[in-house]
Amino acid sequence: MRNTRLTLVTLALSFLTMANTASAEANPELWSVLKQSFFGSKNIEPADFIKLDGPKRAESGAQVPITLTISKPQDTPDAIKKVYLFVDANPIPLTATYYFTPLNGKVELATRIRMEVDSYIHAVGETADGKLYVTDVAIRAAGGCGGSVDGDETAIRAASGKMKVHVESPVKFGEPTPVTFLIKHPMYTGLQRDLVSGGYKPAFFMHKVAFTYNKNPVMHVDFGVGVAEDPYMRFSYLPEGPGTLEVSATDNEGKTFTHQLEVAN
C-alpha cells in the first residue's frame, strides 16, 4: 500500500501539471490512470446508491464542503463498509478513507476538503467481500493545497488536537442521531511555503480519527493532507441507549488526543 501511495503521489504531480495546462475545468482523463494505479484491474461499477454533492464552484480551494450519502443501510449483507475519497487533480489524490459499522445506520457524512485546481472528486465504496462501486462530482476550486502559511508555530501546535463534539438533542435511542465533530489542526500539506524561512512547511496533519460508543466501534477515518484545516465532520449514528461517545485522534507525528461525551435523552 505504501508503494502504491508513493506511485500515486508521483502520478498526481504530473496530473496537476496536466490539469493546469490543458484546461481550466475538471479533467475527466485523470481518473482512468488514477484508478488503474490504485485498484489495478479490479472491476468498479457505477453506483446510484452512493452520492457525492458539493458546490459547482467553491469559494475557497482550502475549504471545499462536500457531502457523501449511501442509501444502503450498514446492516445489509452488501453494505458499503469502506469509502475511498479521491480528488483526482490534487498533488496527493487520496484525501481520506472512511470505515463504517452498523452503528452508522445509513451513511450521511458532511466534511470539508482541499482542492488545488478544478477536479472531479470520486468516492469508491467497498463492500465486506471486496466489491467496488464508484460515483463522482466535478467542482471548480483553486489554490487549496499550496500557497503560503504563517503564524506563531508554538501557538498553532499548542492548540492542535483540541476537539469540539456535539450530539444533537433530544436523542432518540435506536434512531439516527447527528454528531458534529471539529478538531483544531493546521493540516499542513507539505506543499505550502513558510513565509519566515521561504522553504516548504513540513507535512503536519491529523492522520486518524476513531469514534466509539460504549466501547463499540462507530466509524474511523484515515485522513490525508487533502482534508481541510481544522477537520470537520457531521454524521449520524444509532445510539442503543445512554452511554459515552469517545473520540481518539492521532496526528502523523504520533501524538494522540481524546475526548469523551456523555449521551442521554
Output the pLDDT for position 11.
45
Q: Which domains does the chain have, with CATH numbers?
A: 2-263 (2.60.40.10)
Output the pLDDT for position 150.
86
Beta-carbon count within 10 A of 6 CB: 10
Listed in sequence order, the residues at least 6 apart from 204 whose beta carbon sits closer than 8 Å to its beta carbon are 186, 187, 188, 251, 252, 253
Contact in structure between 143 and 119 (CB atoms under 8 Å): no
pLDDT digits (tens, 9 = 90+) for 119-166: 999 999 999 999 999 999 999 999 999 988 888 999 999 999 999 999
Contact in structure between 97 and 91 (CB atoms under 8 Å): no
Mean pLDDT per block of 10 residues along the chain (265 residues) reads 41 45 73 96 97 96 97 94 98 97 95 97 97 98 90 93 96 95 97 88 96 97 98 96 97 97 92
- 107: closest CA among 121, 122, 123, 94? 123
